[in-house]
Chains A and B, each alone.
Chain A
């Protein structure tokens, strides 16, 4: 009996202790953050007005804002806590936090395709009202970026520090050899429309090269209009043309058959890759054992190797190329694609529930509207393209050595001027994925074009009952 009592007393005290421990840890956290604040105050005595020993919590999609946050902290003394969340989980995390009434994060961001939902949900603070008066800064930022940051009523909600117009990155040495010129304007003509691209691809193949690494390189330029117009699914002719282009490129063995963002796709930026065929890629052909590494290397050794001519990427592709070009650095050029296009971009805004909106607004201005920051970012990122017009103007004569000294900022600004932001909808991700699946099914011969397009319509109908689907 006594023994049992002893055990129960022990258990109860253990439980009480653990509860007390929880309580303590809570207090400790408070104390620590308090300490952090104190040190922040110390470091900024006599510093910026914004630095009242405050802290700023930033939830972002890419690592860029970590660097921005550190610089902001250095300059203002405000302690910046940056949390990077994977794009697939980002909207859910933000929704959960904000719908739960959390006052942190102070800064939230979004890619264009996420923004419409965030605007409707009221997650972003209205930046047109006092004390922000964002409209006063409208002419300082590239127009399309400014527009993407506005909700359906034209109220400014977010601003991006970068522009992301698309271009075609091509090899100057190959251009000279095959086409006798490496001039961006003339090479741009070889990509002016899909029939011309197919011709260019054939010419390159005949010369022993491949036009693209994957067949999806023109995706960033595809589509003349939005996927959904006034609640009706809109598959314009340009979408079908793009599908045909992908199928022709794939079935005509005109690419290097690497999937976008896969290792061989990156490898093709640095030089030679073995020429595969559609059959090998689709694993039907058994002449080459593509999965036994040694056997594959032997088999492809006998085969010709090729060099890929071009990649279709937005302006941030400069950073991707920077990390992957290796010895081909200096041999690249950038020219216009068959249409104007853009992809991605991190748009920064203030959470409507933040309790530190003043500091948050300082941070937004620091990242987007501050010329010093823009100068630093251009230098630090080695060539990212900022959205601040004055910085673009200032750097328009900067020569990028990876591109043989081409003046890229001037080029990107021109491309940005042609961008039509009305093409962006909240449906882009899901509809784009479904269209991509349809293209895959057609090019590999799994479905006929009609079957694949019908399946695509089915998917859209079942996913978005609000959208009217007019089958053709």
Chain B
């Protein structure tokens, strides 16, 4: 009997240890592809590594250079500007839809279908989205300008077309709108999930107490949605500050608009990978400065949200 118990115990122990074996593949991949690059980049940011040859340490020189590089700050401003317009539109639209779909009085049907439709733009690869909109927004032959022109002609007005992507005044905002179109479905799903997680009892109680739609929204929905909102805002900010694909693919390097849509990561890319300007050490420093900025902003954001919660 006793022997049998020991073997059983032994077997159980082995079984527990097997868990480590099962997570091992992930841990190995994570170490190689996530942890190692993080530390390697940190190391490179203190060197003058140019992409080949031996890296030589240069101390904080790269960081000093980032902080005094006016084109870095211009790129950061571009990023913040594009993200700012984008987040207002994206969250605004998502909120509006959440209010409509969560209102117990409206009793909207087909939430699943709408949710899928709103989420669709997010499933299209950024490359496809870029080329789609580049075609639609083409200065001379794009559908968008053709439609505008038809409307103008209908009213007998003659107006010059706007070069949406080639003009520094518009390009950034156009990209922000497209980005919002891509991501509002995603935010909407998160917010809806948050709303559905709120107990129905609150809403029913409020309805019985005679609370209006806005009171319910302001006193019940919004406060209880705060954690989700925080999550959406932070992930969006992190994603936003790392914006690369849309502006990189949509802006023409030779156009006057390029300077107004070059984001921090595009600037990093210039030094990390582009022929003739490759300075991996500097690119690494830009990456870490960007990381610190994102970290700081996220902390501030968290503090702000928590304070309101108290």
Report which A residues bind B (CB closer than 8 A): 87-88, 90-92, 95, 98-99, 113-114, 117, 120-123, 283-286, 289-293, 296, 426-430, 433, 436-437, 440-441, 444, 446, 458-459, 462-465
CA distance A99 to B163 in the complex (A): 43
- Chain A residues within 8 Å of B50, by CB: 117
Q: Of residues A291, A430, A463, which shows the largest number of chain B Cβ atoms within 10 Å of its Cβ?
A: A291
Interface residues of B in 125-152 (CB under 8 A from A): 139-142, 145-146, 149
- Chain B residues within 8 Å of A284, by CB: 160
Whether B276 and A120, one on each chain, are in contact in the complex, defined by CB atoms closer than 8 angstroms, is no
Which of the residues A121, A291, A430, A436 comes within 8 Å of B254, measured between beta carbons?
Answer: A436
Which of the residues A283, A289, A429 comes within 8 Å of B276, measured between beta carbons?
Answer: A429
Q: How far is the CB of B289 from chain A (nearest CB, A)?
A: 14
Which of the residues B149, B159, B277 comes within 8 Å of A463, measured between beta carbons?
Answer: B277
- Chain A residues within 8 Å of B142, by CB: 291
- Chain A residues within 8 Å of B163, by CB: 283
Whether B275 and A286, one on each chain, are in contact in the complex, defined by CB atoms closer than 8 angstroms, is no
CA distance A43 to B60 in the complex (A): 60
Q: How far is the CB of B77 from chain A (nearest CB, A)?
A: 15
Report which B residues bind A (CB closer than 8 A): 50-53, 65, 69-72, 139-142, 145-146, 149, 158-161, 163, 253-254, 256, 270, 273-278
**Binding site secondary structure of chain A:** helix
Q: How far is the CB of B285 from chain A (nearest CB, A)?
A: 12
- Chain A residues within 8 Å of B276, by CB: 113-114, 117, 426-430
CA distance A464 to B273 in the complex (A): 15
- Chain B residues within 8 Å of A436, by CB: 254
Whether B254 and A440, one on each chain, are in contact in the complex, defined by CB atoms closer than 8 angstroms, is yes
Whether A465 and B139, one on each chain, are in contact in the complex, defined by CB atoms closer than 8 angstroms, is no
Given A291-B145, A291-B161; A462-B51 close (CB under 8 Å): no
Whether B139 and A283, one on each chain, are in contact in the complex, defined by CB atoms closer than 8 angstroms, is yes
Whether B141 and A291, one on each chain, are in contact in the complex, defined by CB atoms closer than 8 angstroms, is yes
**Chain A residue, CB-CB nearest to B256:** A446
Which of the residues A99, A283, A440 comes within 8 Å of B52, measured between beta carbons?
Answer: A99
Whether A88 and B275, one on each chain, are in contact in the complex, defined by CB atoms closer than 8 angstroms, is yes
CA distance A87 to B185 in the complex (A): 38
Whether A458 and B70, one on each chain, are in contact in the complex, defined by CB atoms closer than 8 angstroms, is yes
CA distance A91 to B270 in the complex (A): 13
**Chain B residue, CB-CB nearest to A455:** B259
Given A95-B52, A286-B158, A436-B254; A429-B71 close (CB under 8 Å): no
CA distance A91 to B277 in the complex (A): 11
Whether B149 and A292, one on each chain, are in contact in the complex, defined by CB atoms closer than 8 angstroms, is yes
